[in-house]
A and B are shown apart, each in its own frame.
Chain A
Amino acid sequence: METSFLLFLVDGVVFGLILSLIAAGLTLIYGLAGVLNLAHGELLVICTATSAVLIQFLGLPLPAALAVGIVMTMGAAVFLEKILLQPVYRLEGEERTLLGLYLTLAFSIFLHSALIVTFPLAFLTVNIPAPSISIMGLTLRTAQVVAGIVSAAILAAVYIFLRKTWSGMAIRSLTQNETGALIVGVSVKRYRLFVFLLGALLVSLAGIIRSVVATVAPEGGIEFTILGLLVCVVGGIRSVYGTIMAGLVIGVVYTFLVVFIGTYLAYVALLIIIMALLLIRPYGIVGERL
């Protein structure tokens, strides 16, 4: 019992890290552009579906296919930011959030139906050939360990990037006070595009890592979007640190719920838990106000 408990814990942590990767992009985009990107999960699927098509049907080597997938995802993000969301930026306040929400929702529906109509069979799984390993009496799949370590490393890199580099500080300053950042010479337009690209990169990496430990189906986009959004809400929507913490919590809780009450009802229980959590701490677990 105890060993399987630990295995589920590892499972949950890996899933949580993947969710954090998805939610980090959402948080950054929301913070900087004021748009809650409901097409985020579909971006993930663009990456995995493109790679899967390239591997399964065109026989491209794995790294090349993944690279093309990431580039495609970033292309979609550029289209979203540069063309689709242009009318949104002319608005202010609530109007902006609403129109942004709607446009990305419409875009996500568009992508979703385009993907499942065109590539209904583009499942992506990446097999890491190495066998299971044992650490301290636990037998772990190598794939899982690799996935966990890689996503933790990416998250750490994002965190350090936001804290230490000039661009990272520029992004944080824009999130906190757009006018102030403009006055000291930070270009909103440039960093908006940058953040969309970064979000797309993170979400496609999340997709690839997810496909190392599980299968990513072309219709799974909306599920990732919603889980990512829940992580954002629980983490306090403006804070990347909170997002990482919330991702871990939700990942672990969700995995245990799946184990104990089944896949479908796990969502119900998760949502009830999150509702209760929001009632107690409406500004997320790290408590940053909006």
Chain B
Amino acid sequence: MNETRARFTTLLALIAIYSVLPLFFLDTPYIVFILAQMIFFTIFAYGFNFLFGFTRQLFLCVGSFAGIGAYITGISLRDGLMGPVEAVVVSTAATALVGWAVSVLSIRRKLVVIFTGIFTLAITLVFNNTVVGLANITGGETGFRIRGFSLGPLDILPYNLRFYYLAAAVLLAATALSYYLIFHTKTGYAYRCIMDDEVSAELVGVDVSRVKSMTALLASALLGFSGAQYGLFSQLIAPSYFAFATVDLPAQIIVILGGRASLLGPYIGSAIITVINEALKFLGPLTQLLYGLILILLLAFFRNGIVDFVKRRFLPWFF
């Protein structure tokens, strides 16, 4: 009971922090912009964490999934094909379907984790090539602008703040849902079994393939949903915004730095990465090189992440 209360307190604390945080920076829209971006990346990391951290499905196409969402929404709004709600629903469903299909395919074919990795890496390449290749629809390498989109009652807020609160709501809802799924249903046990050993998980009666494909479905839906919003938030939808290096790489670093298979890890990881990123902005294109280096060092020396470190040292109830 005590643990449930601790988790509930954590969640409330997160909600409090995330609703108050931007209010300190109201007169500097840039910081609010950075914060909003941080939240979007926390969501992307959440998706990756569920796929890779909890169910060991190495999806190297987080950026492409977000991109699928953004492009479908962006194109349908630009050409007036659908209303905003329908567009977001359709793009979420489309992304979820792709993620689910990839997951089912790799489970059916018993693809080892690396094959899923190769496969999804190829999807990233395919996504990029499709977007650049269909230049008359997608605007090719330079992308297209999407402007003047209304968020209903949130419109009274300044632009960045609107999307900040929208993204924060999505992130916190996703966190609350994950808390519920992991600690109040049998999913948590299933995840723990799968993380340890898939074969024995199957033996004790966990429906491994169902858990995996459902997780892929939900995580991809989250990615497509937030990707659609991210596209609207950036006002420009271009392939470089959803490239491997711009989305997948930071998301992976966030997950590994924060802690794989942990619900608070992405929050901590993204906060640290945002600060580092802002501090090193003057390096320009070298940032990516630095990301590669950070990832190498993290993997070699700090594979379990901050949450695991803290948990072992100080707070056994943290997870």
Task: Identify the A interface with B (CB < 8 A).
Answer: 36, 84, 87, 94, 97-99, 101-103, 105-114, 116-117, 222-223, 226, 229-230, 233, 262-268, 271, 274-275, 278-279, 282, 290
Chain A hits for B285, CB < 8 A: 113, 116-117
7 examples of A-B residue contacts, CB within 8 angstroms = A36-B117, A97-B113, A110-B292, A112-B288, A264-B129, A264-B133, A271-B122
With A229-B121, A282-B109 known, 18 other A-B pairs at CB within 8 A are A36-B117, A36-B118, A101-B114, A110-B296, A111-B292, A112-B288, A113-B245, A113-B285, A226-B125, A233-B115, A262-B133, A264-B129, A264-B130, A267-B126, A268-B129, A268-B133, A274-B122, A275-B105
Interface status of B280 (Cβ within 8 A of chain A)? no
Q: Is the Cβ of B300 less than 8 Å from the Cβ of A94?
A: no
Interface status of B186 (Cβ within 8 A of chain A)? no
Interface status of B303 (Cβ within 8 A of chain A)? yes
Q: How far is the CB of B296 from chain A (nearest CB, A)?
A: 4
With contacts A98-B58, A271-B123, A279-B109 taken as known, whether A103 is within 8 angstroms of B130 at the C-beta atoms is: no
Interface status of B249 (Cβ within 8 A of chain A)? yes
Q: Is the Cβ of B110 less than 8 Å from the Cβ of A282?
A: yes
Chain A hits for B299, CB < 8 A: 99, 102-103, 106
With contacts A230-B118, A268-B130 taken as known, whether A101 is within 8 angstroms of B105 at the C-beta atoms is: no
Q: How far is the CB of B238 from chain A (nearest CB, A)?
A: 15
**Docked complex Cα distance between A282 and B310 (Å):** 43
- Interface flags for B84-128 (1: CB within 8 Å of A; 0: not) read 000000000000000000000100011111110110011101100
**Docked complex Cα distance between A170 and B120 (Å):** 34
Q: Is the Cβ of B295 less than 8 Å from the Cβ of A226?
A: no
Interface status of B172 (Cβ within 8 A of chain A)? no
**Docked complex Cα distance between A271 and B61 (Å):** 14
**Docked complex Cα distance between A112 and B291 (Å):** 12
Q: Is the Cβ of B126 less than 8 Å from the Cβ of A98?
A: no
Chain B hits for A263, CB < 8 A: 129, 133
- From A84, A94, A229, A266, contact of B113 by CB (8 A): A94
Q: Is the Cβ of A264 less than 8 Å from the Cβ of B113?
A: no
Q: Is the Cβ of B114 less than 8 Å from the Cβ of A36?
A: yes
Chain B hits for A117, CB < 8 A: 285-286, 289
**Docked complex Cα distance between A274 and B122 (Å):** 11
Pick from A98, A105, A230, A263 the residue with the most CB of B within 10 Å. A105
Q: Is the Cβ of B296 less than 8 Å from the Cβ of A84?
A: yes
Task: Identify the B interface with A (CB < 8 A).
Answer: 58, 105, 109-115, 117-118, 121-123, 125-126, 129-130, 132-134, 244-245, 249, 285-286, 288-289, 291-293, 295-296, 299-300, 303
Chain B hits for A106, CB < 8 A: 292-293, 295-296, 299
**Docked complex Cα distance between A109 and B130 (Å):** 22
- From A98, A108, A267, contact of B125 by CB (8 A): A267
**Docked complex Cα distance between A222 and B133 (Å):** 18
**Docked complex Cα distance between A133 and B22 (Å):** 70
Please name the 8 residue pairs, one residue from A and one from B, whose CB atoms are nearest each other, closest first: A264-B133, A110-B292, A106-B295, A109-B292, A113-B288, A113-B289, A264-B129, A106-B296
Chain B hits for A107, CB < 8 A: 292, 296
Q: Is the Cβ of A97 less than 8 Å from the Cβ of B112?
A: yes
**Docked complex Cα distance between A106 and B297 (Å):** 9
**Docked complex Cα distance between A290 and B285 (Å):** 41
Chain A hits for B295, CB < 8 A: 102, 105-106, 109
Q: How far is the CB of A103 from chain B (nearest CB, A)?
A: 6
Closest B residue to A261 by beta carbon equals B133
Q: Is the Cβ of A98 less than 8 Å from the Cβ of B109?
A: no
Pick from A98, A107, A109, A278 the residue with the most CB of B within 10 Å. A109
Chain A hits for B130, CB < 8 A: 264-265, 268
Q: Is the Cβ of B113 less than 8 Å from the Cβ of A113?
A: no
Chain B hits for A282, CB < 8 A: 109-111
Q: Is the Cβ of A226 less than 8 Å from the Cβ of B292?
A: no
Q: Is the Cβ of B112 less than 8 Å from the Cβ of A103?
A: no
Q: How far is the CB of B128 from chain A (nearest CB, A)?
A: 9
**Docked complex Cα distance between A256 and B109 (Å):** 28
Q: Is the Cβ of A94 less than 8 Å from the Cβ of B123?
A: no
Q: Is the Cβ of A113 less than 8 Å from the Cβ of B286?
A: yes
**Docked complex Cα distance between A230 and B119 (Å):** 8
Chain B hits for A112, CB < 8 A: 288, 292
**Docked complex Cα distance between A84 and B297 (Å):** 10
Closest A residue to B284 by beta carbon equals A117
With contacts A117-B285, A263-B133, A265-B133 taken as known, whether A97 is within 8 angstroms of B114 at the C-beta atoms is: yes
Q: How far is the CB of A241 from chain B (nearest CB, A)?
A: 20
Chain A hits for B249, CB < 8 A: 109
Closest A residue to B244 by beta carbon equals A222
Q: How far is the CB of A209 from chain B (nearest CB, A)?
A: 23
Q: Is the Cβ of B109 less than 8 Å from the Cβ of A229?
A: no
**Docked complex Cα distance between A271 and B102 (Å):** 12
Q: How far is the CB of B288 from chain A (nearest CB, A)?
A: 4
With contacts A103-B300, A279-B105 taken as known, whether A223 is within 8 angstroms of B289 at the C-beta atoms is: no
Q: How far is the CB of B282 from chain A (nearest CB, A)?
A: 14
Chain A hits for B111, CB < 8 A: 282
